[in-house]
A = this chain, B = another copy of it.
């Protein structure tokens, strides 16, 4: 019985790693597609979402079978519960990659606006948060998880700046409205990559130690009450 349980937990971890690898690949592709305005790559990202959706459902089933047949307890039970939550974030990270790809396709042919330079920097920060949150989950590395949560604020600040730049562009020249809006939406998606990484990292701490760092004050990661942003961020 013990052996069965350990084997099934390993299988679950492997499935999560496969899902995470697919998600990371989709995110990386969508960012490259955005920076190079590569329509073909956008289409690849859009087509690449289906296997991730399928994996969410498979992993849910795996968790339910494991709970029903193996009755894990303590740390093992927490790991299974965390897995059911993490698949939601992984699936939504995959959706965000698709959304970035779709919005990038709308930018093709439009003139470049200056503020896009900061979006790739946001993307780099968000991607490394996603990677580290998944590593923290797999290794049960609480310190790395806390570190990920701390980095979220820097991404938020960068997004505020991108947003302000784009609003200024729109107000000064209304011809920029269509592409500035797409860039605002893209920057929000990139920022939400970081939010989901933070969710995953918070879950690592909660489920590994039963300690709560969720809900540490900022309920709208796109718009915390204390950041001075005239006009309002995305």
Interface residues of A (CB under 8 A from B): 46, 49-50, 53-54, 56-57, 60, 63-64, 67-68, 71, 73-74, 77-78, 81, 84-85, 88, 94-95, 98-99, 102-103, 106, 167, 170-175, 177-178, 181-182, 184-185, 206, 212, 214-215, 219-220, 222-223, 225, 231-232, 234
Q: A57-B212, A85-B85 are in contact. List 13 more A-B contacts (CB 8 A).
A: A46-B225, A53-B219, A60-B81, A84-B85, A94-B219, A95-B219, A98-B220, A102-B220, A106-B231, A167-B181, A171-B177, A178-B231, A178-B232
Q: Please, which residues of chain B bring their CB within 8 A of the CB of A167?
A: 177-178, 181
Closest B residue by C-beta to A224: B102
Alpha-carbon distance A207/B60, docked complex (angstroms): 10
Shortest Cβ distance from residue A209 to the other chain B in the assembled complex, whole angstroms: 13
Shortest Cβ distance from residue A53 to the other chain B in the assembled complex, whole angstroms: 4
Q: Is there an interface contact between B170 and A214, defined as CB atoms closer than 8 Å? A: no
Q: Is there an interface contact between B214 and A102, defined as CB atoms closer than 8 Å? A: no
Interchain residue pairs with CB less than 8 A apart (21): A49-B219, A50-B215, A53-B215, A53-B219, A54-B215, A56-B215, A63-B81, A71-B71, A84-B85, A85-B85, A95-B220, A98-B220, A99-B219, A99-B220, A99-B223, A106-B232, A171-B178, A172-B174, A174-B177, A178-B232, A181-B231
